[in-house]
């Protein structure tokens, strides 16, 4: 695989290889990147606004092997169904400025609580919490 993008744009290598450059174009068109205060300091949050602020909002969180922007292939279809989406980079991941991988579960819970509170202030509709993660537990 040719590495075309580096540093803060490294995520674009994943998108172009597996999902196409169109997804990156949609990201630029729809995203607002900001920070909110949380337990150890500011965390990066991406906001995707539906046409109406009164529509439901999904706080969509990554698991322990990613960050908000890698959820883009899931976020765009949710946005296209007219839901608002707020997606945080949890402590120790993504575009947060502190050390990568340095977190405890309670901090992630606080990050999610703070993100839900932020979403409730930002939008008027119901707020739901969901996420994506991979686990290796085998089911019988």
pLDDT tens for 28-73 read: 999 999 999 999 999 999 999 998 889 999 999 998 778 899 999 9
Q: What single DSSP character describes residue 67?
A: -
pLDDT for position 139? 47
Residue 136 has pLDDT above 70, yes or no: no
Q: What is the pLDDT of residue 52?
A: 84
Query: Of the candidates 64, 56, 72, which has an alpha carbon nearest to the alpha carbon of residue 116?
Result: 56
How does residue 138 score in pLDDT terms, banded at 50, 70 and 90?
Answer: low
Query: Average per-residue pLDDT in the chain?
Result: 89
Number of other residues whose CB lies within 10 A of the CB of residue 12: 17
**What is the length of the chain?**
140
- Asked if 44 contacts 92 with a C-beta cutoff of 8 angstroms, the reply is no
Domains of the chain: 12-131 (3.40.50.1820)
The pLDDT assigned to 137 comes to 52
pLDDT band at 1 (very low <50, low <70, confident <90, very high): low
Residue 133 pLDDT = 66
Q: How far is CA 53 from CA 32, 48, 50, 64, 75, in A?
A: 14, 11, 7, 30, 17
Task: Return the minimum-mean-pLDDT range out of 8-22, 106-120, 123-137.
Answer: 123-137
């Amino acid at each position: 695989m040719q590495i075309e993008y580096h540093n803060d744009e490294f995520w674009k290598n994943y998108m172009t290889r597996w999902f196409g450059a169109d997804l990156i174009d949609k990201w630029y068109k729809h995203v607002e990147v900001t920070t909110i205060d949380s337990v150890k300091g500011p965390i990066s949050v991406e906001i995707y606004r539906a046409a109406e602020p009164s529509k439901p909002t999904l706080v969509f969180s990554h698991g322990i092997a990613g960050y908000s922007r890698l959820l883009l292939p899931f976020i765009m279809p949710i946005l296209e169904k007219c839901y608002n989406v707020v997606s945080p980079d949890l402590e120790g991941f993504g575009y947060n400025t502190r050390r990568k991988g340095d977190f405890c579960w309670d901090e992630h819970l606080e990050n999610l609580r703070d993100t839900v509170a932020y979403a409730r202030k930002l939008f008027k509709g119901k707020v739901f919490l969901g996420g994506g993660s991979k686990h290796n537990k085998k089911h019988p």
